Structure 1
Amino acid sequence: MTAPHTGGCRCGAVRFEASAEPHHISYCHCGDCRRASGAPVSAFVGFLADQVALEGKSLKSYRNGPVERSFCGICGSPIAYVDRRLDNKIYFMLGAMDMPAYFKPTLHAYVREQLPFLHMPDDLPRHLKTSVPRPNQQGPEGQGPNGTAP
């Protein structure tokens, strides 16, 4: 499958389209992503923001520190997040993609926060913290103050 890649919310009020292949596909086990998604683990598909068209009058967002998460104001579906420390990048929830099976995650992030009952027996690389370095972070794998997924 090649671009464009499309997706949206459950009710159809929010839609998006990416005109290029993703630069990042991962699982995230951090507590912030768990709370935002309501799931024990989240999966994200990252694109360059200038290659994405996102539309929907019902699109709402919530900012937590440097991270802004978007969702549909009608059905509540989580859509994406952007981190202001990562220029021109947007990460869509894998479940919001129209063809989610196409996007196979390549790594796990924040495995130090993985729930103890969640077993994912794959051979993907596992990062104790973030898998995407952000400016002004401490430590070898980065250490952000709020909502630092994936």
Structure 2
Amino acid sequence: MIAPHTGGCRCGAVRFEALAEPHHVSYCHCGDCRRASGAPVSAFVGFLVDQVAFTGKALKMYENGPVTRSFCGICGSPIAYVDERLEDDIYFMLGAMDRPADFEPTLHAYVSEQLPFLHMSDDLPRHLKTSVKRPDGTVP
């Protein structure tokens, strides 16, 4: 992978560019991600917020507790999420990336909420909850 990394929504009204390599690529099995994506599992690519630029005027936000999810206000495509507990990070939906095959997930998060019929046969680490350390160094 070589930066910049680009992506956007289905209709093209929202575009973004990350000017560095991602610090995190993972699957998430939590119910909140499942509802936000409409998929049985989500995959995310994490960057530092100050390494990302957005273009277009259709980006909309939805806040739910400490998490704010962004989406295209025209086509509805989910774009990313930020978590106020991880204020320096932004996590893009893998499917929103222009070259999603460039970002192979390295772990599974929230496997305690994984759907019982979903079987992913890989040897990646599996975390019962989050895999991302909070600023105080803890992993909830």
Q: TM-score range by the shorter chain?
A: over 0.9
Query: What are the superposed Cα offsets for residues 26-53 of structure 1, whole Å, 9 maximum, x if unpaired?
Result: 0000000000000000000000010000
Distance in 1 between the 2:63 and 2:136 partners?
Answer: 19
Q: Which amino acid aligns with 1:22?
A: P
State the shift of 1:136 in Å: 7.4
Query: Unpaired segments of 5 or more residues in structure 1?
Result: 143-150
Distance in 1 between the 2:90 and 2:56 partners?
Answer: 16
Distance in 1 between the 2:45 and 2:59 partners?
Answer: 19
Q: Which residue pairs with 2:61 in the alignment?
A: 61
* Identical-residue share of aligned pairs (%): 82
2:84 maps to 1:92: no
Distance in 2 between the 1:78 and 1:106 partners?
Answer: 21
Query: What are the superposed Cα offsets for residues 8-36 of structure 1, whole Å, 9 maximum, x if unpaired?
Result: 00000000000000000000000000000
- How many residue pairs match? The answer is 140
2:14 maps to 1:14: yes
- CA RMSD in angstroms, aligned pairs only: 1.4
State the shift of 1:135 in Å: 5.1
- Superposed, which structure 2 residues align to 1:77-88 within 5 Å? 77-88=77-88
Q: Which residue pairs with 2:128 in the alignment?
A: 128
State the shift of 1:87 in Å: 2.2
Query: What are the superposed Cα offsets for residues 108-131 of structure 1, whole Å, 9 maximum, x if unpaired?
Result: 000010000000010000000001
For the residue of structure 2 that corresponds to 1:85, the secondary structure is helix
Kept after mapping to 2: 8 A contact 1:128/1:141: no
Spell out structure 1 runs of 4+ moving beyond 4 A.
none
- Superposed, which structure 2 residues align to 1:106-145 within 5 Å? 106-134=106-134, 141-142=139-140
Q: Which residue pairs with 1:145 in the alignment?
A: none
Q: Which residue pairs with 2:102 in the alignment?
A: 102
Q: Which residue pairs with 1:147 in the alignment?
A: none
Q: Which residue pairs with 2:49 in the alignment?
A: 49
Q: What is the TM-score normalised by the length of structure 2? A: 0.96
Q: Which amino acid aligns with 2:113?
A: E
Q: What is the TM-score normalised by the length of structure 1? A: 0.90
Distance in 1 between the 2:100 and 2:67 partners?
Answer: 23
